[in-house]
Amino acid sequence: DPALVGLSEAEKKKALKKARQAEAKRVAKEQADAAEKKKKAEEAAANGETVEDEGPKPDLDPKGLELFKNTLEGSPLKQAEKWLRFLQAHAPSSPQTWTCTFDVALRQKNWLLATRALVHLHTLSPTHPALVAMVVQLKTRLPDLTAAPKPIGGVIASALAAVIPADKPVGTYFAEALQSRTASTPRGVLGNARAALALGREDEAVALLLTLPAAVADVSGLRAKNLALKVAVEARALLAQISTQSVDEYDAKAREVFPLANAFKSPQALEEEKKRRDEQRAKWAKGVVAEDGEANGDAHEPLM
């Protein structure tokens, strides 16, 4: 179980015992509820009564706003850690499980967990476009491992060596990544831009992000195009954080690839489009009224 990696044998046994007990309680409760429901149905049938299915209980927080509020008031990272443990146990083969685990671990400065997430992702997909940024971020933030408590420093060093040689400078690793096969893909461009930021090369990150619309233009296929659009929106958000003056240039390039995407339109353009839609709706409604009163003339059947 990936969730047990890094625990001692005693801790593993304790965690497994606790999980088995919780599962046994859950199953017992389900069986007891089912038996009680069956008993009531049999009694009702014997008395000639019908049992109505109560159906699902109403959701008191359908939009999750209360849950979100409680999460913010508490510890968001702790909440994230809770859900990530669930993902690690039930979706260990999903790259997103480990990219998210890495992000949270980095914020918590949990270097061992961040390394573990990095190694998991590298094992699943050695050419994953997020790997470059993750390696650079971890290598540039790691404290001196020789001063780390034993055996944590040695474990992190040996695990990282499976991804990047210990004697390879992180700048060299990044330079090689820029020449890789995935560097020209939308995800690759975004990942390399994040790596450049981790190295303190903001201008290079901006330049990379401005090339992303061209990388998206080379993508074919509806599903791939939709995924590329998500990457383009994500890249725009990153660019807005580091260079607001470059956003207009980015939007102009992105509109050539996604002319209908609202994400790359100015507020003025969106307002003008809304105004035109409102005018067209008004004409459409007027056309319906006129058609009822006139057999000929200016009345037109509205387009569907």
Q: pLDDT per position in the chain (304 positions), as tens?
A: 555 555 667 777 777 788 788 888 888 888 888 888 888 877 777 777 665 656 667 887 888 888 777 776 767 888 888 889 999 999 999 999 999 999 999 999 999 999 999 999 999 999 999 999 999 999 999 998 888 788 888 999 999 999 999 999 999 999 999 999 999 999 999 999 999 999 999 999 999 999 999 999 888 888 999 999 999 999 999 999 999 999 999 999 999 999 999 999 999 999 999 999 999 998 888 775 444 444 444 444 444 4
* Prediction pTM value: 0.69
Q: What is the pLDDT of residue 53?
A: 59
Q: What is the pLDDT of residue 5?
A: 55
Q: What is the pLDDT of residue 185?
A: 94
Q: What is the pLDDT of residue 296?
A: 46
Q: What is the pLDDT of residue 213?
A: 96
Q: How far is CA 111 from CA 149, 161, 241, in A?
A: 12, 15, 26
At 304, the amino acid letter reads M
Q: What is the pLDDT of residue 6?
A: 58
Burial class from Cβ neighbours inside 10 Å (0-12, 13-18, 19+) for residue 123 reads: exposed
Domain boundaries defined on the chain = 1-44, 269-304
Give the span between the Cα atoms of 81 and 100, in whole angstroms.
Answer: 10
Chain-centre distance for alpha carbon 261: 20
